[in-house]
Amino acid sequence: ARPGDLAGKRVVVTAGGTREPLDPVRFLGNRSSGKQGAAIAAAAAARGASVTLIAANLETRTPAGCGVVPVSTTAELRAAVLDAAEGADLVVMAAAVADFRPADVSEGKIKKDDSGSGLTLELVRNPDILAELGQRPHAGTTLVGFAAETEPDDERLLELGRDKRRRKGADFLVVNRVGWNDGFAADENRIVVVGPDDAVVDRAHGDKLSVAHRILDAVLADRR
């Protein structure tokens, strides 16, 4: 972490988790708190970058010194990030983006009936925003993706990260293990950063702000 080493750079960070409405009062969501993404935005701002934080339902405060774009659904996050990523130096996709959304959003609240029968929801795939960014021309923009996986085996976890980086066309992929007790709401994180040639460029463990600085260090070191 070097003060001012991102001066003059434009950084876009997505954080939190998207929510997909089912009806006016319900949604499908995930347990991402947005803490790691918010910490990356704060770290980049502290290092002098001009930061846009695209914030999806954060359960943490937005850091000072960042431009904040609040979003909720995947469609909103997509529109915001495609717009902000244009000409950015660094885009970090830390948000947990819903892979599926309900095929139909009910106009009124979905009711249960008296028969006691269950309810079947039909879901459709959401667009993969990181893959979209990876596929379109992005010379001069470093793309960083995240992989939150429950895979218990370290080697297999790393393989998942490598596959994901290639599949999505990201330059770096930050892998972390999540589970019922790890990752999301916690104040600490343990990560592995996979670089452009599939090598492990860093492993870090600690509070989410120091992990954020280590991710930025890894990305900057590789660009020089």
Q: How far is the CB of 138 from ligand C5P (least distance, A)?
A: 14
Q: What's the CA dihedral at 176, 180, 181, 183 to 10 degrees? A: 20
Rounded CA separation 100/30 (Å): 11
- Binding to ligand C5P by residue 146, rule CB under 6 A? yes
The distance of Cα 53 from the centroid of its chain, to the nearest Å, equals 11
| 189 catalytic per annotation | no
The two tokens of residue 102 are 């309900």
Q: How far is the CB of 79 from ligand C5P (least distance, A)?
A: 13
Rounded CA separation 128/145 (Å): 11
Q: Which of 30, 57, 126, 176 is catalytic?
A: 30
Site for ligand C5P in 73-102 (CB under 6 A): 93, 95, 97, 99
Of positions 39, 129, 193, 204, contacts ligand C5P by CB under 6 A = 129
Q: How far is the CB of 56 from ligand C5P (least distance, A)?
A: 10
Is the Cβ of residue 170 or residue 204 nearer to ligand C5P in the bound state? 170
User: Dihedral of CA 189/70/145/158: which sign?
Assistant: positive
Binding-site size, ligand C5P (CB under 6 A) = 12
Rounded CA separation 89/65 (Å): 18
Is the Cβ of residue 2 or residue 136 nearer to ligand C5P in the bound state? 136
Rounded CA separation 44/2 (Å): 10
- Binding to ligand C5P by residue 54, rule CB under 6 A? no
| Integer CA distances (angstroms), 5 to 16, 34, 171, 208, in order | 26, 24, 20, 20
- Binding to ligand C5P by residue 128, rule CB under 6 A? yes
- Binding to ligand C5P by residue 51, rule CB under 6 A? no
The distance of Cα 45 from the centroid of its chain, to the nearest Å, equals 17
Q: How far is the CB of 135 from ligand C5P (least distance, A)?
A: 12
- Binding to ligand C5P by residue 141, rule CB under 6 A? no
Rounded CA separation 128/136 (Å): 13
Is the Cβ of residue 63 or residue 161 nearer to ligand C5P in the bound state? 161
Is the Cβ of residue 48 or residue 169 nearer to ligand C5P in the bound state? 169
Q: What does the binding site for ligand C5P look like in residue numbers (CB under 6 A)?
A: 93, 95, 97, 99, 126, 128-130, 145-147, 164
- Active centre residues (catalytic): 30
